[in-house]
Structure 1
């Protein structure tokens, strides 16, 4: 069975974005980009919620992305992508499928299909839904060395308790710390 892995950037005080949706505090450099390529290489499908999809689709197909990070841009533009949204009418980014059916049912079916892991990038609200249904197999949380003071929390307050087991830690020269966790199955 395929694994569903989430990857999120988070401030030290637990926010995935600033109060106005700002992401300019992410520490991204060459070492991060090497990790991004390695991480994407373990998957064959990318999953997004609507908001993250719109951000990614607005950047990766651009000439700027192709110039700044051609290797990641090539992968992001060619990989199969699934966006979960009840409000989008279409998903035009290359190789993207729009899913409007209940998320838990769709992801359960996807996990049963053959293939590599699936990678859920960002998409905190979608992650929250999948956490409630215990469908996430691994959490990768990259803590950036910044305190935002306010913003949108990565883990939503209504979330049920979920115990995690630390698998490994990777420290980046930028000060980012990547934590790999898996849910404790009882």
Structure 2
């Protein structure tokens, strides 16, 4: 069975973006890029909510590096009740039955599945017990306000740290398994 991994960058005070969606505080250096490429090579599909999908679709097709090649070539699903069409190659829209779709994908053979950003989708799927791992990169910044990573969580959730790494830039990566 494939795992569903959620990968997030988060501020010290728990925000995944600023109040207006800004992510200009993310630290993406060579060390983080190496991690990102290794992670992308370990998965066969990317999953997004609408907002993150639109951000990524406006950026990655215009880039020409190793990460962009991987992002553009992987299969992608955007979960949205409002999006009517997609422009990024290898993307399909799922507008209902999110849980059924995720359960079906996890049962299929192949490499793991990866959610990048998409905090609302992550919270929804965490509440449903469908995310197997959380990869959090804590960036050394306090935003003071913004969009919280874990919103509308219904219950307390125990998670287990299985690995951590401090990056040279001061970010700390925390790798958790959910229960």
The reply on whether 1:163 has 2:154 as its aligned counterpart is no
Pick from 93, 100, 105 the counterpart of residue 98 of structure 1: 93
Report deviation, 1:157. Answer: 4.2
Q: Confirm or deny: 8 A CA contact 2:123 2:153 kept in the other structure.
A: no
Alpha-carbon separation, structure 1, partners of 2:152 and 2:178? 18
Report deviation, 1:158. Answer: 3.9
Report deviation, 1:159. Answer: 3.5
Q: Which runs of 5 or more structure 1 residues have no equivalent in the other structure?
A: none
Alpha-carbon separation, structure 2, partners of 1:2 and 1:158? 24
Count of equivalent residues: 179
Give the TM-score normalised by structure 2.
0.98
Q: What root-mean-square deviation, in Å, do the aligned CA atoms of Structure 1 and Structure 2 show?
A: 0.8
Alpha-carbon separation, structure 1, partners of 2:54 and 2:155? 28
Instruction: Give the structure 2 partner of residue 139 of structure 1.
Output: 134
Segments of 4+ in structure 1 off by > 2 A?
A: none
Report deviation, 1:103. Answer: 1.2
Three-state SS of the structure 2 residue aligned to 1:61 is helix
Give the TM-score normalised by structure 1.
0.94
Pick from 118, 122, 127 the counterpart of residue 117 of structure 2: 122
Alpha-carbon separation, structure 2, partners of 1:17 and 1:159? 22
Pick from 71, 77, 99 the counterpart of residue 76 of structure 1: 71
Alpha-carbon separation, structure 2, partners of 1:127 and 1:102? 15
Q: Which runs of 5 or more structure 2 residues have no equivalent in the other structure?
A: none
Instruction: Give the structure 2 partner of residue 12 of structure 1.
Output: 12
Alpha-carbon separation, structure 2, partners of 1:46 and 1:128? 17
Three-state SS of the structure 1 residue aligned to 2:61 is coil
